[in-house]
């Protein structure tokens, strides 16, 4: 998560009052307004099922004040981490809100959270801390003292609270968090007026534990230091020029992700925008690095070369290239069916932010793309595919940008995989010049798609185009029969298009009942109902073998407010992902 100023967000969903001591967690929902359904046949089969976009608005600017925070639902979500604990899903995220309204909170100001029973309706819960931790200020000044630099008073630290990662470990919630110091290394001061030709200071990753994740700061035990930003340039912290981006730090200690491997070993992976992602083995009991030399006082967070630095601060397991400023961040690691899948955020977070994934059979790598390029070695010659999410626009909507920095997790009961991130509005939506600062949490189901039709067992994760609405709770079948497929669709070639906030846009695709395709793709189709795999065959698919398999699901059309058919898929020869939804 890079440094930007954020404004705030709100949603018009009303929850029943809930405090730490209350057992009443279920949201109080209004009745369904059936006039908003364009097709009566699409009305919920279960009268208790609520279409989410009838309950709260994505454009929550009018509900963004702190006095409305109980109505926010997924508004003001940024860099989320999600875990399931004692019957509920919990989410914590980076400090960010439209208008910085979250700073008006007095209990649990930083890393504020939300919780949910169904991944659709969320209620606000307090964050984990109220101020910059003392251990981080002490650690910062201990390092500065050994470097011969002036001390920085805690009150003078230009602080930031970023990118937590939580997992349930040993029956407790273990949460790793990032705090940053944005003062200049040389003079210890902050702000453009005090620029002294040095780089800005370091960030730290700390760890907390609790058995009451909704209890606010008093419920958490801060275990302190885990790691810090580290340099392969010794103490040479000065910049060549203000326009030179060859940064001082080799590892940027933010954006942690955590995994327990099948062999029982625990690992932390972190990194953002500098030289790549670091892998640290973690003591399962203490939550701290196994390598004690990484502890404050046991080893300096700098070395004269990368090899010596990696020996103490973690092996580099992935890098976008040789640049020190490489626009890849926010790793998220999961294990499935013999592979470690490493998701990451790509490019700037305001508009072009998108999500890529690589995988390895070993936690240390090498991590490969679906084309076989070695991302551990920085091989980007064939780029990194597949694209998991990307800015997009369906015809009836404003479109979404900045869709990345994800949490990936399983439904506790169904074991289905889900993807959650923020989504931003494009600029000037509804005449609001600050609408790009509106950040709504997006939960999407992940589907596992074949690398090609000829490789049905080689599966890669892609997020569905529409957000999860738990339509099964409305009585909708999760099965999709062949007779359900035909119709008019909006098709998006979800391809890399840096800086284009409202592209790629949807085109019309007709899937005809006679097995043919027309419109955006001309060709034929077949369908495997058992797997819910739709194979599209067309000469209009560039660089492919002529066919691509997409995974079909029944989901909510958020733009139209009806339940429909959606699909997502790709091919290892394609430089884009196919997203589609049936509109007629």
398, with CB counted inside 10 A (0-12, 13-18, 19+), is middle
Q: How does DSSP classify residue 14?
A: P
Task: Calculate ∠ Cα 218-222-227, nearest 5°.
Answer: 155
Distance CA 99, CA 251 (A): 31
| Model pTM score | 0.91
Residue 291 in any domain: the answer is no
> What six digits make up the tokens of 134?
């003392």
Please report which helix (H) or strand (E) contains residue 306, including its range: helix 306-313
Burial 232-252 (b: 16+ CB within 10 A, else e): bbeeebebeeeeeeebbbbbb
**Angstrom distances, CA of residue 406 to CA of 67, 87, 92:** 28, 22, 12
Distance CA 427, CA 77 (A): 18
Residues of the chain with pLDDT under 70: 1-50, 53-55, 292-299, 381, 497-504
Burial 21-48 (b: 16+ CB within 10 A, else e): eeeeeebebeebeeeebeeeebebeeee
Residue 554 in any domain: the answer is yes
The Cβ-side half-sphere exposure at 227, using a 13 Å CA radius, reads: 34
Residue 93 in any domain: the answer is no
Report the 10 Å Cβ neighbour count for 478.
Answer: 11
| Residues 257/262/264/270 CA torsion (nearest 10 deg) | -20
At 450 the three-state DSSP class reads strand
Residue 224 in any domain: the answer is no
DSSP 254-277: ---EEEE-TTS-EEEEE-BSSS-E
Report the 10 Å Cβ neighbour count for 361.
Answer: 11
Nearest to 227 by CA among 315, 312, 286: 312
Residue 298 in any domain: the answer is no
Report the 10 Å Cβ neighbour count for 430.
Answer: 10
Q: Could you read off the pLDDT of 213-265 as tens digits, one per residue? A: 999 999 999 999 999 999 999 999 999 887 888 899 999 999 999 999 999 99
Residue 139 in any domain: the answer is no
pLDDT for the residue numbered 234: 94
Distance CA 333, CA 260 (A): 10
CATH code, 489: 2.40.128.10
Distance CA 170, CA 265 (A): 13
Residue 369 in any domain: the answer is no
Q: Which residues pair with 216 in a beta bridge?
A: none
| 3-class secondary structure per residue, 530-584 | CCCEEEEEECCCCCCCCEEEEEEEEEEECCCCEEEEEEEEECCCCCEEEEEEECC
Number of domains composing the chain? 1
At 48 the three-state DSSP class reads coil
pLDDT for the residue numbered 14: 29
Q: Could you read off the pLDDT of 101-146 as tens digits, one per residue? A: 999 999 999 999 999 999 999 999 999 999 999 999 999 999 999 9
Domain assignment of residue 533, given as a range: 480-582
Q: Whole-angstrom distance between the N-terminal and C-terminal Cα of the chain?
A: 39
| Residues 500/96/329/567 CA torsion (nearest 10 deg) | -60
> What six digits make up the tokens of 205?
């990753």
Nearest to 285 by CA among 305, 265, 314: 265
8 A C-beta contact, residue 101 and residue 89: no
pLDDT for the residue numbered 545: 74
19 phi, psi to nearest 5 deg: -120, 180
Report the 10 Å Cβ neighbour count for 204.
Answer: 26
Radius of gyration of the chain (CA): 24
- The single residue listed with the structure tokens 């139209």 is 560
Nearest to 164 by CA among 129, 139, 135: 129
Q: Cβ contacts of residue 488 below 8 Å, gap of 6+?
A: 508, 509, 510, 511, 519, 582, 583, 584
Nearest to 498 by CA among 571, 390, 400: 390
Residue 515 in any domain: the answer is yes
DSSP 152-165: --GGG--EEEEEEE
pLDDT for the residue numbered 464: 98
Q: How does DSSP classify residue 54?
A: G
């Amino acid at each position: 998560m890079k440094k930007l100023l954020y404004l705030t967000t709100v949603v018009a969903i009303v929850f029943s009052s809930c405090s730490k001591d209350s057992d009443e967690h279920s949201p109080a929902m209004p009745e369904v307004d059936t006039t908003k359904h364009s097709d009566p046949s699409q009305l919920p089969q279960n009268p208790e099922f609520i279409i989410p976009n009838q309950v709260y608005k994505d454009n929550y600017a009018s509900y963004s004040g702190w006095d409305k925070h109980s109505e926010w639902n997924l508004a003001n979500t940024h860099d989320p981490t999600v875990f399931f604990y004692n019957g509920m899903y919990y989410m914590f995220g980076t400090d960010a809100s439209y208008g910085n309204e979250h700073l008006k909170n007095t209990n649990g100001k930083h890393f504020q959270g939300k919780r949910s029973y169904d991944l659709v309706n969320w209620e606000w819960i307090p964050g984990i801390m109220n101020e910059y931790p003392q251990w981080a200020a002490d650690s910062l000044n201990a390092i500065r003292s050994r470097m011969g630099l002036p001390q920085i008073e805690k009150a003078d630290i230009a602080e930031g609270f970023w990118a937590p990662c939580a997992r349930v470990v040993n029956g407790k919630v273990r949460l790793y968090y990032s705090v940053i110091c944005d003062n200049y290394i040389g003079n210890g001061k902050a702000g453009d007026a005090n620029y002294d030709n040095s780089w800005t200071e370091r960030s730290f990753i700390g760890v907390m534990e609790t058995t009451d994740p909704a209890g606010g700061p008093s419920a958490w035990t801060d275990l302190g230091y885990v790691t810090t930003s580290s340099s392969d340039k010794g103490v040479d912290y000065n910049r060549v020029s203000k326009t030179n981006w060859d940064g001082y730090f080799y590892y940027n200690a933010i954006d942690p992700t955590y995994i327990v491997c099948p062999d029982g070993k625990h690992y932390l992976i972190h990194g953002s925008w500098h030289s790549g992602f670091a892998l640290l083995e973690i003591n399962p009991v203490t939550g701290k690095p196994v390598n004690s030399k990484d502890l404050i006082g046991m080893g300096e967070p700098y070395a004269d070369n990368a090899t010596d630095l990696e020996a103490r601060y973690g092996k580099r397991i992935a890098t976008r290239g040789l640049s020190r400023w490489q626009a890849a961040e926010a790793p998220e690691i999961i294990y499935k069916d013999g592979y470690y899948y490493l998701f990451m955020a790509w490019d700037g977070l305001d508009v072009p932010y998108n999500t890529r994934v690589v995988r390895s059979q070993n936690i240390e790598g090498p991590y490969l793309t679906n084309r076989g390029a070695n991302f551990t070695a920085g091989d980007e010659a064939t780029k990194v595919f597949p694209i998991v999410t990307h800015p997009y626009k369906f015809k009836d909507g404003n479109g979404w940008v900045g869709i990345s920095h994800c949490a990936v997790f399983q439904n506790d009961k169904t074991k289905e995989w889900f993807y959650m991130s923020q989504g931003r509005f494009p600029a000037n939506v509804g005449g609001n010049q600050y609408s790009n600062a509106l950040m709504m949490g997006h939960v999407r189901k992940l589907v596992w798609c074949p690398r090609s039709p000829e490789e049905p067992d080689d599966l890669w994760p892609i997020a569905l185009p529409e957000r999860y609405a738990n339509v099964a709770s409305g009585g909708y079948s999760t099965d999709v029969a062949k007779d359900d497929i035909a119709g008019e669709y909006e098709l998006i070639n979800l391809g890399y298009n840096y800086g284009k906030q409202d592209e790629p846009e949807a085109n019309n695709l007709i899937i005809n009942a006679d097995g043919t395709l027309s419109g955006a793709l001309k060709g034929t189709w077949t369908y495997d109902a058992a797997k819910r795999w739709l194979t599209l065959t067309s000469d209009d698919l560039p660089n492919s073998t002529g066919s691509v398999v997409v995974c079909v699901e029944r989901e909510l059309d958020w733009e139209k407010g009806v339940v429909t058919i959606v699909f997502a898929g790709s091919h290892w020869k394609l430089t884009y992902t196919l997203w589609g939804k049936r509109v007629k």
